[in-house]
Amino acid sequence: MFRSKLNNAYKRTVSSMAFGGNSRFFSTAGDYTKLGGHPTLVKAGISNPNVFRNLSTAELYELGIGSNPTDPKTKKTVITSTGALAAYSGVKTGRSPSDKRVVREPSSEGDIWWGSVNVPLEEHSYEINAQRAKDYLNTRPRLYVVDAYAGWDAAYRIKVRIITCRAYHALFMQNMLIMPTEDELQRDFSNGADYTIYNAGEFPSNPLTKGVATTTSVDVNFAQKEMVILGTQYAGEMKKGIFTIMHYIMPQKGVLSLHASANEGETGDVTLLFGLSGTGKTTLSADPKRKLIGDDEHCWSDDGIFNIEGGCYAKCIGLTREAEPEIWDTIKFGAVLENVGFYNEHTRNVNFHDVTLTENTRLSYPLEFIPSAKFPAVGDHPKNIIFLTCDAYGVLPP
C-alpha cells in the first residue's frame, strides 16, 4: 500500500514535469532562478546580488566553460567529444577525511561517536570558518544555489540547499540530488532548506584557527544545520557531506542509513550490495536485467529501502564500453566528468586510462541516464544482502 501511494505520487510529479514544471535540461519560465537578495540568503549572511538557483543544464554548461577557476593551476572546464562536461578540482582530487570536523555542541554532543573519524571542532572555530566561507562567496561574480531533496521516501527526505561559486559543482549536485518541480520549489523552499552547504572550496581555511590542521577544512554543524567547505574543490565532499547528515538524522527516526547499492529483480526481489569505494557497487547495481534503485547511499525503514540520491557517482579509471556499457552510455550531455585526461586535447576524446591527475577520476550522472533505473527509487525489504570486498592479500577484512 505504501509503495503504491509513492508510485502514484511520482507519476503526478512526472506529469507536472512534462508540462514545463522542472527539468534537468530546460529552465522554466519566470524568475524563480534569480535568488539574489532573497531573505533566506540575507539572513544567512549571503549578500551577493548575483545568485542563480536550479539553472538548466545548458545554462550551467555555458557558465561553466565561460569562466576560469580562481586558481590558475586548476584546469579550465571543457566539453568532451560525447557532450559531457569535464571539470577539474585543482590540487584536491579526492576527499580529505583527515580535515573533516564535527562541531561539538550540546544538542548533538551525546549522539556522536567522537574519535579519529568524528573529530570535534569548537563552535567559535566553526564560526570563523563559516564567516570566512561566506565572505569569500560574497566576493564572487556569481553564485549558484541548488535547492533539492535528499531521500526518495517523502516521509524521511530532507531539503538541502547548496551554495557554491563553481557551475560544475551546481550541475554535479543537480545530478546527485532529487530535483523538485517548480511547484515543490515554491512550496517547500520559500523559507530555505533543512540543511545548507556553503561550498567556498576555492578559498583556503586558516590552519592557525584552533582545531584546523591544514588549509582544508570540511565542517558539519548539526545545531545550525550547516556544512562549510574550505580548501577543496573536490565535488565528492558535498555528496558525502549529505550522507554524513543522513547518518546523523536517520537513526534518530528508527531508520538505518547504508553505504550500499541496490537493485530489484523482475519479481520485486531487492538486493543490497555493501562495499567500500571501488569494490563494484555502481557497476553491479547497473545490471541491465534488474532495475537500478541506487548505486551508493540508501536508507532502510520499516517500509523498505529508499535511495538517498538522485544520481550516481562512478569511478571511471579504466572504463570501457565493452566491460560497462550501461555506465559508458551515460557519458553524454548532462554528465559531469571530474579530473579526466584526453587522448587529444583538440578532439576531447577522453582517455580513461590517464592517471596524470589522479587514479580517482569520476563520473556523475542522473539516475534516468540508466535505462533500467526504477522511479521512484524505492524498494521492499531486501531479500539478498551481499558484501563486496576487494581483497588483494587473500584475507577478508574482519
Catalytic residues: 95, 240, 259, 277, 281-282, 296, 362
Q: What is the largest CA-CA distance in the chain?
A: 60
Q: How far apart are CA 234 and CA 358, in angstroms?
A: 12
Query: What is the enclosing helix (H) or strand (E) of 185?
Result: helix 182-188
130, 146 in Cβ contact below 8 A?
no
∠ CA(60), CA(64), CA(66), 5° rounding? 120
CA 353/CA 316 separation, integer angstroms: 9
| Residue whose C-alpha is closest to residue 312's, from 328, 289, 290 | 328
- The whole-angstrom separation of Cα 172 and Cα 233 is 12
C-alpha of 274 from chain center = 19
Phi-psi region for residue 333, left (φ > 0), alpha (ψ -120 to 50) or beta?
Answer: beta
How far out from the chain centre does Cα 386 lie? 24
Q: Which helix (H) or strand (E) holds 172?
A: helix 167-176
Distances (CA, A) of 203 to 66, 70, 129, 246, 330: 20, 9, 11, 26, 32
DSSP letters for 302-364: TTEEEES-SEEEEE-TT--TTT-HHHHTT-STT-EEES-EEEETTTTEEETT--SS-S--EEE
Q: How many residues does the chain have?
A: 398
